[in-house]
Structure 1
């Protein structure tokens, strides 16, 4: 197996997985009322997402410049991870805001 062929896919999987984990930790922190930690986790999630996107962009730019990118199961799996990480991150941001609003309502009750 040519390791170089799978390196970009594995980098996308790594960073997307870390992005998703950080997003879920943000929701957990917000549920506990720790909004500073939630914001830190959201920031980490975005940083990991950016790293995954950079790797994906390098593949896209390479393909656009004529370098063939072999589509294999690992690359498809990597794209799936990135898609799920994006969804988790988007939902986590909304859920943190929801928990923040709930905390304000409970404090005023």
Structure 2
């Protein structure tokens, strides 16, 4: 895969991660924690794939290969970092939904 394709793949995988985070949150709001968990698993898979591409870039650069940094590369990094943050926050919010649901059923 060429560098440009890899950069676009980071953006694509990050977008898929964000979409699954939204779906996970929506299903958790409705109390469907099993489906929510499935969406989180898919989100994590996409973010790992995107992160692996980024890690490969960093490894190549550390080995002396010149990696062109342009606006698209910066854009991909932005998407990756926001997706990672969104995944982390989504997990926390789902845990809060579970806690709320648990307290409602024990009251």
Shorter chain as denominator, the TM-score bin is over 0.9
TM-score, structure 2 normalization: 0.95
SS at match of 1:71: coil
Structure 1 vs Structure 2 CA RMSD: 1.2
Identify the residue that residue 42 of structure 1 maps to in structure 2.
40
Identify the residue that residue 12 of structure 2 maps to in structure 1.
14
**Cα offset, 1:43, TM superposition:** 0.6
Identify the residue that residue 103 of structure 2 maps to in structure 1.
105
Separation (CA, whole Å) in 2 of partners of 1:21 and 1:59: 25
TM-score, structure 1 normalization: 0.94
SS at match of 1:18: helix
**Cα offset, 1:16, TM superposition:** 0.8
Count the aligned residue pairs.
107
Identify the residue that residue 22 of structure 2 maps to in structure 1.
24
**Runs ≥4 residues deviating over 4 A:** none
SS at match of 1:52: helix
Identify the residue that residue 81 of structure 2 maps to in structure 1.
83
Separation (CA, whole Å) in 2 of partners of 1:72 and 1:27: 34
Separation (CA, whole Å) in 1 of partners of 2:68 and 2:41: 32
For structure 1, list consecutive stretches of 5 or more residues without a partner in the other structure: none
